[in-house]
Amino acid sequence: MEKDIDKIPKNPDTDIVIRVDDFGGKRGVTIREFVKGERYTGFTKSGTRIPAEYFKQFKEAINSIDEAELAQPVEGADNSNGSSGQSGSEGAESSGQGGEAKSGEGSDIKEEAM
């Protein structure tokens, strides 16, 4: 079962797709980049998967983010061009290594292969 939940534009050629799916017989939430280009259109390797048993913890973590904090200018960054100080694929982080998710200290969330 795959159910797309939302698609968030990252740039003119890339969307971040959030979906509920089954992988390896286990249900979870997958967040992946989808590119539309001349040479390739489809999902990239960039992204992560949150197993169903960790979704509540993930949701609480996301909901704890203060939107006002995100609106604050980045210290030491030159934002005169209207940029957030990020470029390329830095906006959506992924661990992609060793199976450990890069989140706060003490986190026990593990990333599964997609």
Question: How far is the CA of 61 from the CAs of 1, 55, 100, 104, in angstroms?
Answer: 26, 10, 17, 10
**Taking residues 58-79, what's their average pLDDT?**
90
What's the CATH code, domain 2-64?
Answer: 2.30.31.10
Per-residue pLDDT tens digits for 105-114: 444 444 444 4
- Name the pLDDT band for 78 (thresholds 50, 70, 90): confident
Backbone angles phi, psi at 57, to 5 degrees: -65, -40
Buried b / exposed e along 82-107 (16+ C-beta atoms within 10 A): eeeeeeeeeebebeeeeeebebeeee
Domain ranges of the chain: 2-64
- Name the pLDDT band for 1 (thresholds 50, 70, 90): confident
Per-residue pLDDT tens digits for 6-54: 999 999 999 999 999 999 999 999 999 999 999 999 999 989 999 999 9
Handedness of CA 69, 70, 75, 79 (dihedral sign): negative
